[in-house]
Structure 1
């Protein structure tokens, strides 16, 4: 399966706060917040949702096409992605703006406060998905957080071209209008949210849970430490637990890694439950490292995790596919 991953490409500036955010917030002063947090560390890492997902897919052997906008400072990052199996031939390079920046502070409870500077991402709407499809015929387009106009355009183009698409609005739900959310979701083969985003999506779209399921093929909701739930119209929900006892170093990119594992498994024709299990195992790799692309995919270790947590059958299904070109 040839997957195009559209969305943000960014540099992550990750900071660690040794206390708890909630201890610094006064309930009767929330209308006048003015805080500065002294952090213990700063790490600058490669990131962006689309780049993170493409990195994971590349590590699993799928050779994904990365589709997003960057600045002239992208050269070193591009080499890194190519070395990890990502096709960057459809990345748009801006002459006006630098690559986007994600600035995130994490407290000891793994709560996060973040800011995102769009930079070159604001030009992502200039990318024509038809040209991408002409260069390398696509089987699936993943529309992940990006400039809102670009997200809508790429979704509409996928429909026009008759290409299956996956909707992953996640962090951009706060910026999207109800009409935009409805446009992005309707007709999606796959819809990805976390638990909070699932409620926000329903509120933005003005739809019930069932009305969302009427419009998508499969709705995948990640539940943090509780794992993942998979919903389909007129089908019982599938639930898969997370990998237990993982030392949490940094949650940044955990959901992106899940998507990589899940989409890789479904592209191999594996059952939804197995896809969720691989997604959870990939998430555990990222959670145990600092930085969303700092982990290494070692098939034997990944299979050992799946075997220990989910059993011999799950590992057997994945063993035949893992590490082979899609």
Structure 2
């Protein structure tokens, strides 16, 4: 039942600003420091939901790295994180409003992810059924071989695989993604990969890259497409107020995987993903609250 998640872990410096940015002047904002990284976020949401999960990544041997590993452990994640002296843990500055977020990224130690890091996680979980990878790993030439190795090694061991398309701008520069059993993409990412179309049309078009596809449309809900059935759409879960969209897609992926890997049908898995996505946008940062 265990899920292995491979990818980035960073410190998020989250700036939630009030109203439009006043370029060249001052903008009122709330500023918080949180654990982040797309893959680490997904692992944290899985762990907090009680699903067995192992996270494989790299941090610096520094105070932020210690804090990031401790946060994952507190969320119920088994963290196989390699600590590297002399290299800083990755940092992302997030400029967020209630509708959008922009990120400035220093990948730091994440660049050092190696095939051995993925193998260590795979060796740790004899009962692992699935490996989830964030495409941020594939966008960086330094660690892309580790991401490709993780997918290949998982398949060789009989695990299913999923990939989060991660971000439209680097995806457009990168140009392609490897084949997986399940692909997660938001509307912008899906359009980079498949051109224009509705969420359902894009999900079907992307079936040449994956056994099944989930296209996330934010407040418009989410759509699943598989090889032998009509697309399935579910609405978003309403929230009283969107506070910060950071990590919503990571939470959605965790909710979907937790249901899908325990036998739920596409509609139920989408609904569970939408539920965690709604929790994510209702608070600052990309992680669940840990008591």
TM-score by length of 2: 0.86
**Equivalent residue for 1:286, pick from 253, 268, 280:** 280
Which residue does the alignment assign to 2:12? 12
Written as runs of structure 1 = structure 2, the 5 A alignment for 1:182-197 is 182=177, 184=178, 186=179, 188-197=180-189
How many correspondences in the alignment?
A: 275
Which residue does the alignment assign to 1:239? 233
In 1, distance between residues paired with 2:135 and 2:208? 23
Written as runs of structure 1 = structure 2, the 5 A alignment for 1:71-110 is 71-73=60-62, 74-88=65-79, 90-107=80-97, 109-110=98-99
In 1, distance between residues paired with 2:150 and 2:168? 15
RMSD over equivalenced CA pairs, Å: 2.3
In 2, distance between residues paired with 1:39 and 1:125? 41
Gaps of 5+ in 1: 25-33, 298-326
Q: How far 1:97 sits from its partner (Å)?
A: 1.3
Per the alignment, do residues 264 and 53 of structure 1 end up closer, same or farther by CA in structure 2, a change over 3 Å counting?
A: same
Moved over 6 A (4+): none
Written as runs of structure 1 = structure 2, the 5 A alignment for 1:104-119 is 104-107=94-97, 109-119=98-108
Q: How far 1:242 sits from its partner (Å)?
A: 0.5
Gaps of 5+ in 2: 139-143, 196-201
**Is 1:263 the equivalent of 2:252?**
no
Do the aligned residues in 2 keep the contact of 1:144 with 1:170 (CA within 8 Å)?
yes
In 1, distance between residues paired with 2:224 and 2:6? 23
- The Cα offsets for residues 28-75 of structure 1, whole Å up to 9 and x where unpaired, read as xxxxxx856634221111111111111111111112000111111322
Per the alignment, do residues 146 and 97 of structure 1 end up closer, same or farther by CA in structure 2, a change over 3 Å counting?
A: farther
Q: How far 1:177 sits from its partner (Å)?
A: 2.8
- The Cα offsets for residues 181-212 of structure 1, whole Å up to 9 and x where unpaired, read as 24x2x1x1110000110011236xxxx86553
In 1, distance between residues paired with 2:212 and 2:27? 43
Determine helix, strand or coil for the equivalent of 1:139.
strand
Written as runs of structure 1 = structure 2, the 5 A alignment for 1:122-133 is 122-133=111-122
**Is 1:199 the equivalent of 2:199?**
no
Do the aligned residues in 2 keep the contact of 1:129 with 1:158 (CA within 8 Å)?
no
Do the aligned residues in 2 keep the contact of 1:141 with 1:163 (CA within 8 Å)?
yes
Greater per-residue strand proportion: 2
In 2, distance between residues paired with 1:134 and 1:166? 19
Greater per-residue helix proportion: 1
Higher mean C-alpha deviation, range 10-19 or range 188-197:
10-19
Written as runs of structure 1 = structure 2, the 5 A alignment for 1:169-180 is 169-171=165-167, 174=170, 177-178=174-175
In 2, distance between residues paired with 1:51 and 1:112? 18
Do the aligned residues in 2 keep the contact of 1:8 with 1:145 (CA within 8 Å)?
no
Q: How far 1:163 sits from its partner (Å)?
A: 2.2
Do the aligned residues in 2 keep the contact of 1:52 with 1:257 (CA within 8 Å)?
yes
